[in-house]
Amino acid sequence: MNSKSLRPSFRGLRQAGMSLLETVVALAILLIATVGIMSLAGISMSTTEDQGHLAARTTEYAQDKMEQLISLAWGDTTSDTTVFPAANSGGTGLAIGGSSNPGAPATGYVDYLDLSGNPLTITNGVAPANWFYIRVWQISSPSANLKQITITSKVRSEVGSKGVGSLPQSTLVQLKTFPF
């Protein structure tokens, strides 16, 4: 046998596999992509939490106002429902009127809440400067023995974001019949 035939020839072999440098570069690219996706996920989770929290609060505050109005007597047209608890006089009670549009509140059918949901005082028909939630309501009478109460609660601004979406708003509608 020839001694040359026992030695492997390195001329014909090609490099197989990846070097450490190529692996590090691939991991760096993967890390940059992952960080970008994770920051986007963090922003979306924060926005969803803020919007969900605010939407839940608007619904809760609309429900609170609905309970206050439903507890009034059918013919009550004098209770002041802009304060809590409702005062016996000086208001509109369940009188027909009002507006369910937060952009056009009707006097006597609107109240304002702070960031924690505490009622704020309306002075001379002017909204308080530090309000965070607005509640407006409308009382209508589709038939003689029926009153429809519509309440819309809306948040003034979003928390911790740049106003990307629409502001959370909740509307509740309930019927009240005579004599109840």
pTM for the structure as a whole: 0.72
Give pLDDT, residue 151.
98
More confident residue, 42 or 68: 68
How far is CA 7 from each of CA 2, 3, 58, rounded to the nearest angstrom?
10, 7, 83
Would you say residue 1 has pLDDT above 60?
no
With b for 16 or more beta-carbon neighbours within 10 A and e for fewer, the 115-126 pattern comes to eeeebbebeeee
Give the mean model confidence (pLDDT) for residues 17-23.
82
- Mapping DSSP to helix (H, G, I), strand (E, B) and coil, where does residue 131 land? coil
**pLDDT category of residue 83 using cuts at 50, 70 and 90:** confident
Token output for 70: 């439903």
Mean pLDDT, the chain, whole residue set = 86
Task: Write out the two tokens for 12.
Answer: 């014909």
pLDDT at 48 over 90: no
Give the per-residue pLDDT at 13: 53
